[in-house]
Amino acid sequence: MDINRSTDMKYLGGLTDWGRKLNNTFNNLLYANHFQDNIVKGIGDEIMLYIPDEQLREKSSNNNHYALLEDIYAGLYLIKNHPDTDLFLNCKVAIHYCTEVYNITFFKGANDFYGSDIDLTARLMAKSVENRIVLSEKFYIKVKNDLINLHMTDKSGCLSRISEKFLENFKGVPTSTEYRVIDIQ
Amino acid sequence: MELIEQKTEKCVIVSITGRLDTTNYSLLEKKLTDLIENHEDKILVECSKMDYVSSSGLRILLMALKKVTMAKGKFVLCNLQDNIREIFEISGFSNIFEIYPSQEEALKVF
């Protein structure tokens, strides 16, 4: 999750105003969707979440990939459409289903994740823009499987707005990557 | 989640029981949309038995608020549990919704 045009706002609008909105925005996205324990790292105006499958399944509600996507969509919708335009900053998001991930850190007490899928997630973020979710085809397939299990159509909820498949050769990624986008209404 | 609709002289009360999540938010969306399309523009949402909400549920409430406001009606919430109230505050919803601590107090504004 990344704040759009954050650096511009920081210098044009002032640090205090930027900080307040940044805090509001991340709190909204994290706490309203119960993701606050899944932050891997935050660097300024960008945060990375890692939600292992077993942890997702243990959630008492919204415990599948479709629900995850739907809540992220709704979170961005609330920010974009909130009547008070002075509270939040618009965001962009990239989501990938990671299998090549390993937890390693060089700092005592810290927590970090590495792996080719983490690199790919960062590449996907470069394809996102304000009020857009970019999702890898690998994640989309997980979402579609959930919809089958939930007896829901593949145009349910925010998926009615999903794009066709795009193909991209990302720098450093040996094979082409398939992804789709959902623009927030 | 269970939805109970009750018509009173002043407004329609929609009571939410249980967890408002991605598996059922469309039920609330349909209920509120149907009410608004049938010109029921004075709506009180009773939340005392709603024990979970996430952005998906909040989105439906915001959409309903916008529609009712456009129709010059009134869309009010009451009896939020503490954990739900916290989410409303974080989401900036406490400032845009009329929220009352009891149904009795909420009914006075219609």
For B51-102, what is each residue's pLDDT tens digit? 999 999 999 999 999 999 999 999 999 999 999 999 999 999 999 999 999 9
- For A112-169, the pLDDT digits (tens) are 788 899 899 999 999 999 999 999 999 999 999 999 999 999 999 999 999 999 999 9
Non-local (6+) Cβ contacts of A30 within 8 A are: A36, A39, A47
In this prediction, residue A76 carries a pLDDT of 95
Model confidence at A44, pLDDT cuts 50, 70, 90, reads: confident
- Do A24 and A87 meet the contact criterion of CB atoms below 8 Å apart? yes
Q: Measured between CB atoms, does A33 come within 8 Å of chain B?
A: yes
B2-107 homologous superfamily? STAS domain (3.30.750.24)
In this prediction, residue A7 carries a pLDDT of 79
Q: Assign A168 to helix, strand or coil.
A: strand
Residue A90 CB neighbour total at 10 angstroms? 18
Q: Look at residue A92 and tell me whether its pLDDT is greater than 90.
A: yes
Residues of A in Cβ contact (< 8 Å) with B66: 81
Mean pLDDT of A89-99: 94
Mean pLDDT of A48-63: 88
Short-list B31, B8, B10, B94, CA closest to B58: B94
Q: Do A60 and B19 touch (CB under 8 A)?
A: yes
CA distance B9 to chain A (A): 30
Q: Look at residue A5 and tell me whether its pLDDT is greater than 80.
A: no
Q: Measured between CB atoms, does A72 come within 8 Å of chain B?
A: yes
Mean pLDDT of A77-82: 94
In this prediction, residue A17 carries a pLDDT of 87
Task: Kindly report the pTM of this predicted structure.
Answer: 0.91
Distance of CA A150 to the CA centre of its chain: 22
- Return d(Cα B59, Cα B29) in angstroms, integer: 9
Q: Look at residue A31 and tell me whether its pLDDT is greater than 90.
A: no
In this prediction, residue B71 carries a pLDDT of 94
In this prediction, residue A12 carries a pLDDT of 82
Q: Among residues of chain B, what percentage have pLDDT more than 90?
A: 95
Identify the CATH class of A2-183: alpha beta
Residue A78 CB neighbour total at 10 angstroms? 23
Q: Among residues of chain A, what percentage have pLDDT more than 90?
A: 55
Q: Measured between CB atoms, does A153 come within 8 Å of chain B?
A: no
Q: Which of A29, A61, A72 sits opposite B21 (nearest CB)?
A: A61
Model confidence at A35, pLDDT cuts 50, 70, 90, reads: confident
Model confidence at A96, pLDDT cuts 50, 70, 90, reads: very high
Domain residue limits, chain A:
2-183
Q: Do A71 and B22 touch (CB under 8 A)?
A: yes
In this prediction, residue B68 carries a pLDDT of 97
Q: Among residues of chain A, what percentage have pLDDT more than 70?
A: 100
In this prediction, residue A30 carries a pLDDT of 86
